[in-house]
Amino acid sequence: MPIKNKSKGIVPWDYQIGDENYQIEPWILKKGKDYVTVEKDKNIKGGFQLRKNEEKRLSLNASQAKMTYHQLIEFGYKLRKPKIEITNKD
């Protein structure tokens, strides 16, 4: 069975504003009571931070973050849908 190249798949941070699947960060993956938060590292250009539940943050480069995202999906985690904000137009 061939090994999939996880580094080539689309991840949420690949989308741009205006794309149908665009979501603002942080991106949250959930599986049962566990969740993993992925966000861009504001201190390291091109870097990301992952955090499982309330544990310590882990710094990753872009390719590590992409591969980890795809592994989490394979392990059964689901990307949480963004909450839609309702605004009053009074």
pLDDT digits (tens, 9 = 90+) for 8-55: 689 999 999 999 889 999 999 999 999 999 999 999 999 999 999 999
Residue ranges covered by each domain of the chain: 6-79
What six digits make up the tokens of 40? 């861009």
pLDDT digits (tens, 9 = 90+) for 42-82: 999 999 999 999 999 999 999 999 999 999 999 999 999 86
Neighbours of 49 (CB within 10 A): 18
